[in-house]
Structure 1
């Protein structure tokens, strides 16, 4: 199945054939692979996965007691309990740890500029892993994701015939509000329709990086031509999918794909590290026609995916203002 989706190596200059394949993947699926090479070493990715397994093996009650959780006005940091978020009416069988840009001690003493800025919520004491080591590792991973995503944005611009710097103005300050989320999906029975790994949705931001796990099974599926198609992992490569903002900024020329996460029938838990790369808080977008993006749907509704999107013609608002309200819809 991997041949469905193009792959780009960031350590190499993308030739005409690679750019053409990438454009086809963006227009058709909205998914592709990126080999980050030295920009995001595989050893660092594996170290994060090892840390995640140790962290999530701790009792949930211990994580809740030792890690602060801040969820307000679209700002989410810290431990997210089992089933505490969902993109639909279903219960999503996962727990998570959410963090973002790591501010300096001096910056943390200053007032935040807007709702999506604020300090991370690290454990107050050991939760299966050394707290300082976790903080250092997670911060290094975040920085690698930012650099990788910024380079991918230039490739996307190039493959659709735009200057490589086309998106730069949209992305100013995006590193300050982007999110890294570490997920632990718990095995569940497919017979229970009220449970799911991750509900069908499109991502709201610019693009998303999904780190490969140590297993062959990704659980990620994209909806294409009325069927769910698996998006397999490729060792050493990140899975990239386009977000709503990117698709809107190109007038729908690239897909913001509807996707979901399902778990294997044999009941294996799943660990996943997902980086949501956002444009800057003040980035503007305008929707001129009816859209089917999750960005414009009320994800609390039972039939959110089936209902027609509301007409948001002529909508003008900053991305940050809009996304702050969106986050209030996924809390449960």
Structure 2
């Protein structure tokens, strides 16, 4: 494990020993990264040769399409919060972000009937893809999602072992129909006046495991527990940046860290591309407290729930709340009745 200004780098190809169980050395590195920093980078995660570079190239070319082509995928057309978000219309901390993006998730049939207390089923449905104008995008993005699902599950199994739990401890909530979410993101500096230098405002992710592919421009900054300054996450070609979400932090009473992070907008005229992937359980998954061994429980920091944005045990409700906050225009168009709930 090497350190890059405090951000550990782990090689996932060394995670398991020849006979299949996790390597104690890798588990020790992972335990340090997930408890002390909440962010790390991984190499050796099984991408095909050139796959990461190809995906970034495909995204770059998609965002060069004329705006009218991109707007055919306008996420306001999707009741499932999928598709294209125009520059400066996603909101973090109440302020516009200097990015445009595609949001996508598993391709499934919409759920037409569900209990009133489970409105999160509204999130399930089809994606919006530029099948006619740019057919390369869907296969590249979905193949990446398949790889990231494998990586996300492997990391969760290693995290379980690092907390002295059975390797399959987190398997059940992800079984059959995980509700992962992918984004294809383009940042441009100096275009969204309201954003200033905010590419994405400071926040913690609310789910489980985030896997980020970033290009070489940089701009991601993190604030590990107990650290006052912002640490840059310097790009490593082809590596993934990994961080944990608040549901894992809450379930472990703060032993695992859901670290605050932000993205600084690139300089005016500079483009930055990234692919965040949120490895997430089924929409109806409810996450119970994790039984920590005494020596780890003693190191748990506890949790400081944000009264303005309380975290719920139901993954689906957290995801719906997050989508509604990020895309108020979609919410207003399709679900005005949910706004005051």
Establish whether TM, by shorter chain, passes 0.5: yes
Contact 1:29–1:257 (CA<8 Å) still a contact in 2? yes
Instruction: Give the 3 Å change call, closer, same or farther, for CA 70–27 of structure 1 in structure 2.
Output: same
In the alignment, structure 1 residue 329 sits paired with structure 2 residue 325: yes
Per-residue CA deviation, residues 216-250 of structure 1 (Å, 9 max, x unaligned), is: x3211001411111011222321100011111222
Distance 1:3 1:196 in 2: 22
Instruction: Give the 3 Å change call, closer, same or farther, for CA 35–110 of structure 1 in structure 2.
Output: same
Contact 1:68–1:123 (CA<8 Å) still a contact in 2? no
Q: How does 1:243-258 map to 2 (within 5 A)?
A: 243-258=245-260
Corresponding position of 1:22: 30
Q: How does 1:48-63 map to 2 (within 5 A)?
A: 48-63=55-70
Q: CA deviation at 1:21?
A: 2.0
Q: How does 1:1-332 map to 2 (within 5 A)?
A: 2=4, 4-12=6-14, 13=16, 14-38=22-46, 40-64=47-71, 66-70=72-76, 75-103=80-108, 108=109, 114-123=121-130, 125-126=132-133, 130-131=134-135, 133-173=136-176, 175=178, 177-188=179-190, 194-213=196-215, 215=216, 217-224=217-224, 225-265=227-267, 267-285=269-287, 291-292=303-304, 297-298=308-309, 317-332=313-328
Structure 2 spans left out of the alignment, 5+ residues: 17-21, 115-120, 290-300, 329-341
RMSD: 2.9
- What's the secondary structure of 1:76's corresponding residue? coil
Contact 1:196–1:261 (CA<8 Å) still a contact in 2? yes
Distance 1:112 1:268 in 2: 46
Number of aligned residue pairs: 301
Distance 1:174 1:17 in 2: 32
Per-residue CA deviation, residues 30-66 of structure 1 (Å, 9 max, x unaligned), is: 011222443x2251111110111101112323311x2
Q: CA deviation at 1:251?
A: 1.8
Contact 2:186–2:274 (CA<8 Å) still a contact in 1? yes
Q: CA deviation at 1:6?
A: 2.8
Structure 1 spans left out of the alignment, 5+ residues: 299-309
Contact 2:95–2:194 (CA<8 Å) still a contact in 1? no
Distance 2:110 2:280 in 1: 24
Per-residue CA deviation, residues 193-219 of structure 1 (Å, 9 max, x unaligned), is: 755100000001101000132x2x321
Corresponding position of 1:303: none
Contact 2:88–2:192 (CA<8 Å) still a contact in 1? no
Q: CA deviation at 1:121?
A: 0.8
Instruction: Give the 3 Å change call, closer, same or farther, for CA 37–327 of structure 1 in structure 2.
Output: closer
Per-residue CA deviation, residues 162-191 of structure 1 (Å, 9 max, x unaligned), is: 22111112323453x211101101113999
Q: If the length of structure 1 is used for normalisation, what is the TM-score?
A: 0.81
Instruction: Give the 3 Å change call, closer, same or farther, for CA 44–293 of structure 1 in structure 2.
Output: farther
220-229 or 276-285, which deviates more = 276-285
Contact 1:200–1:259 (CA<8 Å) still a contact in 2? yes
Contact 2:190–2:268 (CA<8 Å) still a contact in 1? no
